[in-house]
Structure 1
Amino acid sequence: MKKRVITAWGAAIVIFLVLMIVTPTIPQSQAYHDFADQRSFFGIPNALNVVSNFPFLIIGLVGLVLCYYPDDYFRLSLRGEKLGWTCFFVGVAAVAFGSSYYHLHPDDARLVWDRLPMTIAFTSIMAIFVIERIDEHKGTYSIVPLLLAGLVSILYWRFFDDLRPYALVQFVPCIVIPLMAILLPPMYTHSTYWLWAAGFYLLAKVEEAADKPIYSWTHHILSGHSLKHLCAAMVPVFLTLMLAKRTVQTERISLYKTWKISWKGSEEESLECTYSNVAVEETR
Structure 2
Amino acid sequence: MKKRTMSAWGSAILIFIILMIVTPTIPQSQAYHNFADQRSFLGIPNFLNVISNFPFLIIGLIGLILCFYPEDYFSFSLRGEKIGWTCFYIGVAAVAFGSSYYHLHPNDATLLWDRLPMTIAFTSIMAIFVIERIDEHKGTYSIAPLLLAGLVSILYWRFFDDLRPYALVQFVPCIVIPLMAILLPPMYTHSTYWLWAAGFYLLAKVEEAADKPIYSWTHHIISGHSLKHLCAAMVPVFLTLMLAKRTVQTERISLYKTWKKGSEEERFEHSYSNVAVEETR
Relative to the length of structure 2, the TM-score reads 0.98
Q: Offset of 1:3 from its aligned partner?
A: 1.1
Task: Report how far residue 23 of structure 1 moved.
Answer: 0.1
Q: What is the match of residue 43 of structure 1?
A: 43
Corresponding position of 1:220: 220
1:78 corresponding residue in structure 2: 78
Equivalences for residues 1-284 of structure 1 within 5 A: 1-272=1-272, 273-276=274-277
Structure 2 counterpart SS, 1:249: coil
- Specify every segment of 5 or more residues in structure 2 that has no aligned partner in the other structure, as ranges: none
Post-superposition Cα deviations, 1:51-70, rounded to whole Å, max 9, x if no partner, equal 00000000000000000001
CA RMSD for the aligned pairs? 1.1
Partners of 1:98 and 1:270 in 2: CA distance: 54
| 1:278 shift after superposition | 5.6
Aligned CA distance change for structure 1 residues 279 and 250 (closer, same or farther; 3 Å)? closer
SS at match of 1:198: helix
CA deviation string 1:144-173 (max 9, x = no partner):
000000000000000000000000000000
Structure 1 residue 72: Cα displacement: 2.2
Give the superposition deviation at 1:77: 1.9
SS class of match (1:173): helix
Aligned residues: 280
**TM-score where L is the length of structure 1:** 0.97
1:276 shift after superposition: 4.9
Quote how far apart the aligned CAs of 1:50 are.
Answer: 0.2
Code of the aligned partner of 1:179:
L
List alignment gaps of at least 5 residues for structure 1. Answer: none
Give the 3-state SS of the residue equivalent to 2:125 in structure 1: helix
